[in-house]
Every structure is written in structure tokens, then in C-alpha cells.
């Protein structure tokens, strides 16, 4: 029993890291642009599909990862310029509606283009090591490490990169940033592209664990929404902590009930958060 719990701990952290990668893109876009990106899950899914296609063409997993990230980042920029820029300055609720429309289009496009049968991404290496009584694939640990590395890189970029500082300045005061000569329209486009690219990267990384199909984005967008609310909206650190917290709880719950029902645990966490700390669990209380 103890060993099962330990294995679920590792599993929970691995899923938690991928979720954190998805959610931090969502948080970044929300925190900076006030856009709730309903299409985030679809970008995740399309990223996985680009990964499948590149992998089939070249056979190189890492190339597929880079290609998916760049291509979906470009798609994100195109989506931003065509549909979200015209909504700038309107009620943030309209962005939910517009991105919901985008998600409908993208999801059905994927169904049309790739069909309902799930595709498989071959993991780049298949080595395993013994974790207690189970042989545990190395690949899972590598995903967790890579996700952490990408999030860490994002953090460093925001903290020290010139462009990152522009992004943070835009978050604090868009008008003032513009007055100081920061090209705000470009910053916003770039942020949407970066968030989209992160979603695509997590799609490719997660692809080998389950099949890739057109509806896979939905589970993730819901989980990411939960995590973003539980972690405190717009807080990067909060959503990472919440990702791992929620994934661990779900992993433990899966010891007793089926994985489909384990989702209810994260719903309960959300309800309790709304009841007692509606600003988010991992946000320091402002006095």
C-alpha cells in the first residue's frame, strides 16, 4: 500500500508538471491581456497533432517538439491578430466568446482532418527503471524535468530578458508602458504566441502517454481552468503549485476510485477554494 502511494506520488507530480505547463500559458495570457483563452486546449491538441505529423515525416521526436511549438506559436499570433486584437478594450467576457468560437472551429477542423481514431506518438526512448515493484518508464520523469525547465526558462525570461521586462511592464500598466515607448501591440501578440507555443509543447510531450485525438484538449482546458482559479488567477507561481497539488490529490484518489471519478476530487478542491479563499489558495492574503 505504501508503495502504491509512493508510485502515485511520482505519477501525480509528472501529470502536475504537464498541467503546470498548460496552465502557466493560460495564466500568462490572462494575467497580461485579460483574455480567457478558451481555445487553449485546442492549441494543446493541435500541437500534439503537428508533433504526430512531424514525427511521421522525420522520425525525430525533438524536431517534432520544436516544430510543433513554433508552428502553433505562429498560429497563436495569427489568431490573436485576426480575432482578439479587434476586441481590445471591450469587456473581457467577449474574449471568452470569441475564443470559444475558435475552439469550436479548431476542434472540428482536427476531427475533419485527422478523423476520430486516436494517433500515437512514439516516445523518444523507451528505457525503464525499477520503482519498487513496478518498472517505471524514464520518459515520464524526463517530461516532468522538461516541463520544469520550460517553466523555469519562462520565469528567467520574464525576470531578466528585455522583452520579459516589457511584458511585465505591460501587465502593470498598459498605457504607461506605451508612453515609455514599449511596443505594446507587439508585446501582446508575442505573449499570446508564447502561451500557444507552451500549450503545443505540452501537447507533444504528453502525446506518448495517451493517444492523440481531437477531443483531448477539453479535459486539459477544464483542469487548467480549475488550477488557474484554485491557484489565483493571473499568478504564475500559484497555478504551478495548484497544478501539482490538484494532480497529486487526483492520483491518490485514483487508488480507490476509477480515474473518471477521481476528477471529482479536483472539483471538490475548487468548491472549497471558492468557499474559503475565493482569491486563490496559493496567493498571499492582501491586507
Residues that bind other proteins (CB under 8 A): 36, 83, 86-87, 90-94, 96-98, 100-102, 104-105, 107-109, 111-112, 222, 225-226, 229, 233, 258, 260-261, 263-264, 267, 270-271, 274-275, 278
Cα-Cα-Cα-Cα dihedral of 210, 216, 221, 226, to 10°?
A: -50
Sign of the C-alpha dihedral computed for residues 113, 74, 225 and 247 taken in this order = positive
Q: Identify which of residues 83 and 178 has a Cβ nearer to other proteins in the complex.
A: 83
* Nearest distance from C-beta of residue 74 to other proteins, angstroms: 19
* Nearest distance from C-beta of residue 112 to other proteins, angstroms: 5
Q: Identify which of residues 109 and 125 has a Cβ nearer to other proteins in the complex.
A: 109
* Nearest distance from C-beta of residue 158 to other proteins, angstroms: 23
Taking a C-beta distance cutoff of 8 angstroms, is the pair 30, 234 a contact?
yes
Cell numbers standing for residue 144? 516532468
- Other CB atoms within 10 Å distance of the CB of residue 210: 13
Taking a C-beta distance cutoff of 8 angstroms, is the pair 211, 120 a contact?
yes
Q: Identify which of residues 9 and 261 has a Cβ nearer to other proteins in the complex.
A: 261
Which is nearest to 210 in space by CA: 130, 113, 140?
A: 140
Q: Identify which of residues 236 and 263 has a Cβ nearer to other proteins in the complex.
A: 263
* Nearest distance from C-beta of residue 47 to other proteins, angstroms: 19
Q: Identify which of residues 21 and 270 has a Cβ nearer to other proteins in the complex.
A: 270
- Other CB atoms within 10 Å distance of the CB of residue 127: 10
Sign of the C-alpha dihedral computed for residues 278, 280, 286 and 287 taken in this order = positive
Kindly list the distances between the CA atom of residue 95 and the CA atoms of 34, 103, 242, in Å, as whole numbers in the listed order.
8, 12, 24
* Nearest distance from C-beta of residue 34 to other proteins, angstroms: 8
- Other CB atoms within 10 Å distance of the CB of residue 45: 30
* Nearest distance from C-beta of residue 283 to other proteins, angstroms: 14
Q: Identify which of residues 172 and 258 has a Cβ nearer to other proteins in the complex.
A: 258
Q: Identify which of residues 10 and 96 has a Cβ nearer to other proteins in the complex.
A: 96
The C-alpha atoms of residue 69 and residue 73 are separated, in whole angstroms, by: 6
The C-alpha atoms of residue 144 and residue 11 are separated, in whole angstroms, by: 10
* Nearest distance from C-beta of residue 222 to other proteins, angstroms: 6
Amino acid at each position: 500500500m505504501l508503495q502504491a502511494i509512493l508510485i502515485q506520488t511520482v505519477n501525480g507530480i509528472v501529470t502536475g508538471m504537464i498541467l503546470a505547463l498548460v496552465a502557466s500559458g493560460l495564466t500568462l495570457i490572462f494575467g497580461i491581456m485579460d483574455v480567457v483563452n478558451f481555445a487553449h486546449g485546442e492549441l494543446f491538441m493541435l500541437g500534439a497533432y503537428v508533433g504526430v505529423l512531424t514525427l511521421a515525416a522525420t522520425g525525430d521526436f525533438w524536431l517534432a517538439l520544436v516544430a510543433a511549438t513554433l508552428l502553433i506559436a505562429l498560429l497563436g499570433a495569427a489568431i490573436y491578430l485576426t480575432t482578439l486584437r479587434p476586441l481590445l478594450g471591450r469587456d473581457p467576457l467577449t474574449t471568452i466568446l470569441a475564443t470559444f468560437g475558435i475552439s469550436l472551429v479548431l476542434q472540428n477542423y482536427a476531427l475533419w482532418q485527422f478523423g476520430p481514431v486516436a494517433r500515437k506518438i512514439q516516445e523518444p526512448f523507451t528505457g525503464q527503471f525499477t520503482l519498487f515493484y513496478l518498472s517505471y518508464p524514464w520518459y515520464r520523469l524526463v517530461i516532468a524535468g522538461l516541463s520544469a525547465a520550460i517553466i523555469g526558462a519562462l520565469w528567467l525570461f520574464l525576470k531578466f530578458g528585455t522583452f520579459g521586462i516589457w511584458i511585465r511592464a505591460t501587465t502593470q500598466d498598459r498605457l504607461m508602458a506605451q508612453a515609455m515607448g514599449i511596443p505594446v501591440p507587439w508585446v501582446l501578440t508575442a505573449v499570446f504566441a508564447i502561451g500557444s507555443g507552451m500549450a503545443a509543447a505540452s501537447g507533444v510531450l504528453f502525446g506518448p502517454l495517451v493517444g492523440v485525438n481531437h477531443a483531448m484538449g477539453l479535459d486539459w482546458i477544464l483542469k487548467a481552468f480549475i488550477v488557474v482559479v484554485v491557484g489565483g488567477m493571473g499568478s504564475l507561481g500559484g497555478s504551478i503549485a495548484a497544478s501539482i497539488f490538484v494532480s497529486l490529490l487526483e492520483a491518490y484518489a485514483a487508488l480507490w476510485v476509477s480515474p473518471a471519478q477521481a476528477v471529482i476530487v479536483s472539483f471538490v478542491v475548487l468548491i472549497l477554494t471558492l468557499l474559503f479563499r475565493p482569491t486563490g489558495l496559493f496567493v498571499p492574503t492582501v491586507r
